[in-house]
């Protein structure tokens, strides 16, 4: 079975870049761009890894992450925050909320691949 990733992001250029990069690396990339129903999308798709933007329409990525961590079925799901907001307080909030990895935009392709590969469960 392949590696499945859900990218929750609302910027088309980031969606295109991440999808292209990770698809070439063997990932099945699904995308979602609305924060309001992002938790339901994660529960429906059951991805191996989630990449989550912070600033989404409808709901903050931090709120989504809190909800994922509060549910037993997603409490240990690898989640990487991908955000343009890279200040220390943003990183600290992400860590307190239970993020697995944190990356700022813009990102280097190699950096993204390395981070996602590190999150992938070994099967």
Instruction: Say what the pLDDT of residue 116 is.
Output: 96
Q: Nearest 5 degrees, angle CA 97-CA 21-CA 120?
A: 45
Structure tokens at 123: 């099967």
Instruction: Say what the pLDDT of residue 87 is.
Output: 86
| Beta-strand pair 49-53/3-8 | parallel
Instruction: Say what the pLDDT of residue 111 is.
Output: 96
| CB proximity list for 51: less than 8 A, separation 6 or greater | 5, 6, 7, 8, 9, 18, 79, 80, 82, 116
Averages of pLDDT over each 10 residues, the chain, 123 residues: 88 96 96 97 97 96 97 97 89 94 94 94 57
Q: Determine the 3-state secondary structure of 67 from DSSP.
A: helix
Q: Which domains does the chain have, with CATH numbers?
A: 3-119 (3.40.50.2300)
Neighbours of 4 (CB within 10 A): 16
């Amino acid at each position: 079975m392949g590696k499945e990733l859900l990218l929750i992001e609302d910027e088309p250029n980031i969606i295109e870049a991440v999808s292209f990069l990770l698809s070439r690396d063997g990932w099945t990339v699904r995308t979602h761009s609305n924060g309001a129903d992002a938790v339901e999308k994660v529960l429906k798709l059951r991805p191996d890894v989630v990449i989550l933007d912070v600033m989404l329409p409808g709901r903050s990525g931090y709120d989504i992450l809190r909800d994922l961590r509060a549910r037993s079925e997603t409490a240990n799901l690898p989640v990487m925050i991908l955000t343009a907001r890279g200040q220390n307080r943003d990183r600290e909030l992400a860590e307190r909320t239970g993020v697995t990895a944190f990356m700022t935009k813009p990102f280097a392709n190699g950096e993204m691949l390395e981070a996602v590969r590190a999150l992938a469960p070994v099967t």
